Chains A and B, each alone.
Chain A
């Protein structure tokens, strides 16, 4: 098992290098330089001053040299400083990341708590009314523009009814609350974004669960279990469910980039100061170091998600571990 983990970890290094390479070149294919905003818009800036500024940021060097310099600093987790406010990029990201992770983790948990039972229900009552209704329900979540739902629900719950706070993650008088009050306050702010995010990803989990359950219910060992006279609940929840849950681990690992990407939308609409919002702001201001930092961290989070899913899977299903190791060695 340990050998498997180490081998997988080493395999991540080239992927990580590839990710930083793609990010770097995507950013630099764009015409124009970030210094343009500070210089061309300002007629007082001389040509020499402009060159000095470019030199200060290292933008005068050829692109491969800029990349190598970036990598050199990246190894020690130094992403450089923001062009906007000169603060270290790592610091800017570090203060934003917990909020984004909190929202996404809550959304994943809510999705699982609703999606898995819904998928089982759909599979067991396949073709019945409850299957059809739940199918349509999850499909609507999957097909509706998230920000549209957010706008409508925000208008209903926050403005018309006044039950929930409109935006942000905490009230203005947040500091005056005790610990319990603080948790409650943040929870109230996060209800809408987390619910909508979970509604959107419900389809993936519940449909997958349904397909897996239907497939497994047709297997021989389920027939054996039924033939032994076990009652249907034991067959479904003890025999079938265990195997159907396995692929969900992989799906979760794969859903990380989608969730991180979705946070751009949610954080914009609910004015949540998270990583998605930071990315949007830095893209709009051509703040290269921050764009690179967020893209790399996003990709690292994705790799971490896939890695954990892989390890969890091979822990839960020994067949994977054995065949994979054999093939590789």
Chain B
């Protein structure tokens, strides 16, 4: 059952990824095409998820929106992983004052309600897609840094590291070649969960009006677009929300399955 669930989640993610890549082939309409003759029509054979107040096809907007929402998830997490792995490995390997300073900085960053920091930066700069990715990445690397540091701390005492040192390997070689590849398991779990988290943050930013700006469709802003007409056109709010829910849920299920694989204590 566990595995079936994880397999289902992987399949769903695969479908979403494919539809993002092949959006022009899958979308039934032009996502930006305004059609004054079919404004706020419910799901029908022609528009399977209905249309919005400008007569745009919701299904096509969701398909194109997946490009934006998924890119934000991946790139934000990519940035977080880069920073986290690099700082965590440096702190764990060199120890001493550098470790103290870096971990203090991690503690500091963890004290901020993340959404406050993101909100402040995005609102004060401008809500471009790039800014959103970078700011989410810059505020979510701390957990990964801690994980990598802990892994490196135990790994560096192992014999194969000592052997590499004896053979005259440089620090950078040991860190990138021996330590990081061995510490990557928990990072993978964290990154998988992080993609879901970043998609949720983007939708929350859209809700606050400082997410991806229309007319570029993101799942968050399609959903928000339907807020005013929720009473008369439920499809505008329900469908994009379901896409966010199932995508984030799938990432969480996959992340949890990976964790079970990597955590021997939980195995029977």
A144 & B238 in contact (Cβ 8 Å cutoff): no
CA distance A31 to B244 in the complex (A): 33
Q: Quick one: which of B112-166 are within 8 Å of A by CB?
A: 112-117, 119-121, 123-125
Please determine whether A145 and B116 come into contact, CB atoms closer than 8 angstroms: no
Q: Does B221 contact A (CB under 8 A)?
A: no
| Whole-angstrom distance between the Cβ of A260 and the nearest chain B Cβ | 4
User: Interface digits, A263-290 against B, CB 8 Å rule (1 contact, 0 not)?
Assistant: 0110011000000000110011010000
Set of chain A residues within 8 Å of B256, measured between Cβ atoms? 139
A136: nearest residue on chain B (CB-CB)?
B5
Is A215 an interface residue, CB under 8 A from the partner? yes
| A155 with B231: CB separation less than 8 A | yes
CA distance A198 to B208 in the complex (A): 21
Within 8 Å CB of A31, what residues of B?
125
The size of the chain B interface, using a CB distance under 8 A, is: 44
Q: Does A87 interact with chain B (Cβ within 8 Å)?
A: no
Report if A144-B114 is in contact (Cβ < 8 Å); known contacts: A22-B108, A283-B124: no
CB of A245 closer than 8 Å to a CB of B: no
The contact size tier of chain A is 35 or more
Bound CA–CA A218/B266 (angstroms)? 10
Chain B residue with the shortest CB-CB distance to A21: B108
In the complex, residue of chain B having the shortest beta-carbon distance to the beta carbon of A160? B231
A5 at the interface (CB under 8 A from B): no
Instruction: Tell me whether B1 and A299 are in contact (CB under 8 A).
Output: no
Interface centre among A30, A142, A147, A303 (most CB of B within 10 A): A147
Kindly state whether residue B177 has any CB partner on chain A within 8 Å.
no
* Residues of B contacting A279 in the complex (Cβ-Cβ under 8 angstroms): 116, 119
| Residue pair B112, A144 in contact (C-beta under 8 Å) | no
Query: Do the beta carbons of A15 and B108 come within 8 Å of each other?
Result: yes
- Given A215-B265, A264-B208, check contact A294 B116 (CB 8 Å): yes
Task: Confirm or deny: B85 has a beta carbon within 8 angstroms of a beta carbon on chain A.
Answer: no
**B7, chain A: closest CB distance, angstroms:** 15
Q: Is the CB of A261 within 8 A of B245?
A: no
A159 on the B face (CB < 8 A): yes
Q: How far is the CA of A139 from the CA of B248 in the complex (A)?
A: 9
Does the CB pair A142–B252 fall under 8 Å? yes
Inside 8 A of B123's CB, which chain A residues have their CB? 283-284
Chain A residue with the shortest CB-CB distance to B251: A143
Q: Is the CB of A265 within 8 A of B265?
A: no
Tell me if A298 and B113 are in contact (CB < 8 A): yes
Find A298's partner among B105, B112, B234 (CB 8 Å cutoff).
B112
By a CB distance below 8 angstroms, the chain B residues around A294 are 116
**Those of A27-58 within 8 Å (CB) of chain B:** 27, 29-32
Q: Which of B13-21, B58-66, B74-82, B196-204 contacts A (4 or more CB under 8 A)?
A: B196-204
Q: Chain A: which residue is nearest B226 at the CB level? A: A151
Residues B112 and A139 in contact, CB atoms below 8 Å apart: no
C-alpha gap A145/B200 in the complex (Å): 6
Chain A proximity of B178: nearest CB distance (Å): 28
A145-B223, A159-B231 known; A257+B245 contact, CB < 8 A: no
- Chain A to chain B: the 8 pairs with minimum beta-carbon distance, closest first: A30-B124, A261-B113, A261-B115, A143-B248, A143-B249, A148-B241, A257-B113, A260-B113
List B residues at the A interface (Cβ < 8 Å): 1, 104-105, 107-117, 119-121, 123-125, 196, 200, 203-204, 207-208, 220, 223, 227, 230-231, 234, 237-238, 241, 244-245, 248-249, 252-253, 256, 265-266
A-B contact pairs, 19 of them (CB 8 A): A15-B111, A18-B104, A127-B1, A143-B248, A143-B249, A148-B237, A151-B230, A152-B237, A215-B265, A254-B110, A260-B113, A261-B113, A261-B114, A261-B116, A265-B115, A279-B116, A280-B208, A295-B117, A302-B112
